[in-house]
């Protein structure tokens, strides 16, 4: 199990790397995270899971499935939607957070037990920190999972933030003795300094805790999406088409734009001036369309998007973005909110009680410029939405185009190299599989592989 001193300690990346490394040893490997909180999800058989576990399964070379992330919390305004084994649990979603954990534990325990029976190795990712003493009684993600799996723990810290040794010692010291004994090694993650300056820190820390530092992992440049999907990237590169992706507060599934960053100069737009000079403006998915619409209006981005469209800039909406581009949102069941959209597409969306979660494929029809290069392309994707959209004739819409404004419901098309070529004139040069291999190479070079083998019972 990989746990962290804090959020953003690099647990997901290390878990992904270990999934590939153990798979390279000839083992069958499954990832597991008991409870994830993210509005970035993927559709698998049985429903939706967090994108991190989807990527980890791909790294392990196995089909992603709902047991790998049995509980997914999708943040909403003031609360979170509970997705249990891929499907929304409306009753639990209405409960306060502290009342949910015991009801969810049997689901977590059963999924973990089944994976442990079926795979040689299960690489488990924790959440936040195991030493959140205010939350310990309700924690079903960290040490309770480690105890159930009888899993040894590697504790990771983001050394780039500073205070790494204090974080490691403080986390260890706040744990009860039985949980301290589970921690078999410390990992200094995201290191980019002079390694000769580390001593005597690791040695003193081991004297205090009895836990050795088993890895010093460098800062890894990679092409995987971060968990929120929109982390700051390297400085802008010249010569690439400028693309503005609007980052509203409830933006979802931003991970699907990771490959776009290889073929375009991507900027995450939170102010009207961020759209200046963009050749394409994208409105991504939204977990709460009505609140994001209100945010667009409060920030002035609504007028900026409309102005860009009227100036001939390509404007594209995906899922919730498509709904925002329409004329009207109707909410007869109190699911999201009613109101007038941006009015750039002749569409009306009516929110439904039940969420649609499905995968699908289609062949794009003949399209006029500036979308003509997409004509005839076969595309596959996934839908996670709570609404039905119709055009002026009352016909259900999956794809809508009106001049230089377009929208589509499926996520995932931006991960299709042919779509990227059609929209931006280039294909990504670095593949997902190559990234997994590189991550495993880095772990092999910078973490004690004898320890890794021993922790998995291989030596």
Looking up residue 30, the CATH number of its domain turns out to be 3.40.50.300
Are 362 and 272 part of one and the same domain?
A: yes
Task: Tell me: do 138 and 50 sit in the same domain.
Answer: yes
Residues 28, 153 share a domain = yes
Residue 4 has pLDDT above 80, yes or no: yes
The answer to whether residue 231 is domain-embedded is no
Instruction: Check whether residue 409 and residue 443 sit in a common domain.
Output: no
Helix 51-60 vs helix 11-24: crossing angle, to nearest 10: 20
Res 458: pLDDT? 87
CA-nearest of 244, 251, 315 to 286 is 251
> Is 250 part of any domain?
yes
- The residue written with tokens 């920030």 in the block is 299
Residues 187 and 261 in one domain: no
Averaged over 279-294, what is the pLDDT? Answer: 96
Confidence of residue 223 (pLDDT cuts 50, 70, 90): confident
Strand 348-350 versus strand 388-390 pairing type:
antiparallel
Question: Are residue 248 and residue 211 in the same domain, yes or no?
Answer: no
Please, are residues 316 and 280 in contact by the beta-carbon 8 Å criterion? yes
Residue 114 maps to a domain: yes
Statement to judge: residues 379 and 307 lie in one domain: yes
Which positions are annotated as active-site residues?
319, 411
Query: 366-383: per-residue pLDDT in tens?
Result: 999 999 999 999 999 999
- Residue 94 or 422, more confident: 422
State the total domains in the chain: 2
pLDDT digits over 163-179, tens only?
999 999 999 999 999 99
Band (pLDDT 50/70/90 cuts) for residue 227 is low
Q: Are 32 and 68 in contact (CB under 8 A)?
A: yes
173-200 pLDDT tens trace: 999 999 999 999 999 999 998 989 999 9
Evaluate whether residue 318 is within a structural domain: yes
Give the pLDDT mean for 105-130.
97
**Within a domain: residue 165?**
yes
Whether 217 is covered by a domain: the verdict is yes
Distance CA 81, CA 19 (A): 28
Is 198 found in the same domain as 96? yes
Same domain, 394 and 372: yes
Is the domain of 169 the same as that of 299? Answer: no
**Confidence check: pLDDT of 222 > 70:** yes
* Interval 6-62: pLDDT, tens: 998 999 999 999 999 999 999 999 999 999 998 899 999 999 999 999 999 999 999
Q: What is the CATH number of the domain that holds 406?
A: 3.40.50.880
Using CA atoms, how far apart are residues 279 and 285, in angstroms rounded to an integer? 20
Domain extent, residue 62, equals 2-223+434-455
Per-residue HEC secondary structure of the chain comes to CEEECCCCCCHHHHHHHHHHHHHHCCCCEEEECCEEECCCEEEECCEEEEHHHHHHHHHHCCCCCHHHCCEEEEEECCEEEEEECCEECHHHHCCCHHHCHHHHHHHHHHHHHHHHHHCCEEEEECCCCCCCCCCHHHCCCCHHHHHHHCCCEEEEEEHHHCCHHHHHHHHHHHCCHHHHCCEEEEEEEEECCCHHHCCCHHHHHHHHHCCCEEEEEECCCCCCCCCCCCCCCCCCCCCCCEEEEECCCCEECHHHHCCHHHHCEEEEECCHHHHCCCCEEEECEECCHHHHHHHHHHHCHHHHHHHHHHCCCEEEEECHHHHHHCCEEECCCCCCCCEECCCCCCCEEECCCCCEEEEEEEECCCCCCCCHHHCCCEEEEEEEECCEEECCCCCECCEEEECCEEEECCECHHHCHHHHHHHHCCCCCCCHHHHHHHHHHHHHHHECHHHHHHHCCCC
**How far apart are the C-alpha atoms of 125 and 54, rounded to whole Å?**
13
Q: Does 232 map to a domain?
A: no
Dihedral angle sign, alpha carbons of residues 258, 262, 264, 269: positive
Provide the token pair at 331.
Answer: 């909410």
Residue 234: the pLDDT is 45
- Over the stretch 68-80, which tens digit does the pLDDT of each residue have? 999 999 987 678 8
Same domain, 361 and 444: no
Task: Check whether residue 59 and residue 162 sit in a common domain.
Answer: yes
């Amino acid at each position: 199990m990989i746990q962290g001193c804090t959020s953003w300690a690099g647990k997901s990346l290390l878990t992904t790397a270990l999934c590939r490394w153990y798979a390279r040893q000839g083992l069958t490997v499954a990832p597991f995270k008991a409870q994830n909180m993210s509005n970035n999800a993927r559709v698998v058989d049985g429903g939706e899971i967090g994108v991190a576990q989807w990527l980890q399964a791909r790294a392990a070379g196995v089909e992603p499935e709902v047991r790998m992330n049995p509980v997914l919390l999708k943040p909403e305004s003031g609360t979170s939607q509970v997705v249990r084994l891929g499907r929304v649990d409306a009753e639990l979603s209405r409960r306060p957070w502290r009342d949910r954990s015991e009801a969810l534990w049997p689901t977590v325990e059963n999924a973990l037990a089944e994976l442990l029976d079926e795979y040689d190795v299960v690489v488990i990712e924790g959440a936040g920190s195991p030493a959140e003493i205010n939350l310990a009684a309700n924690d079903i993600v960290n040490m309770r999972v480690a105890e159930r799996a009888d899993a040894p723990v590697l504790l990771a810290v983001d050394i780039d933030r500073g205070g790494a040794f204090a974080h490691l010692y403080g986390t260890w010291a706040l744990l009860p003795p039985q949980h301290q004994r589970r921690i078999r090694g410390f990992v200094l993650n995201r290191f980019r300094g002079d390694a000769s300056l580390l001593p005597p820190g690791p040695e003193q820390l081991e004297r205090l805790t009895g836990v050795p530092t088993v890895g010093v992992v460098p800062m890894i440049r990679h092409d995987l999406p971060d968990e929120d999907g929109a982390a700051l990237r390297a400085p802008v590169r010249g010569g690439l088409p400028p693309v503005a992706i609007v980052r509203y507060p409830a933006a979802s599934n931003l991970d699907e734009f990771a490959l776009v960053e290889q073929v375009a100069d991507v900027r995450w737009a939170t102010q009207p001036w961020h759209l200046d000079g963009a050749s394409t403006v994208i409105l991504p998915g939204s977990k709460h369309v009505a609140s994001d619409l209100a945010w667009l209006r409060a920030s002035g981005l609504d007028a900026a998007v409309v102005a860009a469209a009227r100036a001939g800039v390509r404007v594209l909406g995906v899922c919730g973005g498509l709904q925002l581009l329409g004329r009207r949102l109707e909410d007869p069941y109190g699911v999201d909110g009613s109101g007038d959209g941006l009015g750039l597409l002749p569409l009306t969306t009516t929110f439904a009680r039940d969420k649609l979660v499905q995968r699908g494929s289609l062949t794009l029809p003949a399209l006029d410029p500036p979308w003509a290069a997409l004509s005839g392309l076969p595309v596959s994707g996934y839908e996670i939405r709570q609404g039905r959209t119709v055009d002026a004739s009352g016909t259900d819409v999956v794809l809508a185009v009106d001049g230089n404004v377009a929208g589509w419901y499926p996520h995932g098309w931006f991960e299709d190299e042919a779509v990227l070529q059609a929209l931006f004139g280039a294909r990504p040069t670095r593949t997902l599989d190559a990234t997994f291999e590189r991550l495993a190479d880095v772990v092999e070079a910078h973490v004690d592989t004898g320890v890794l083998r021993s922790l998995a019972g291989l030596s």
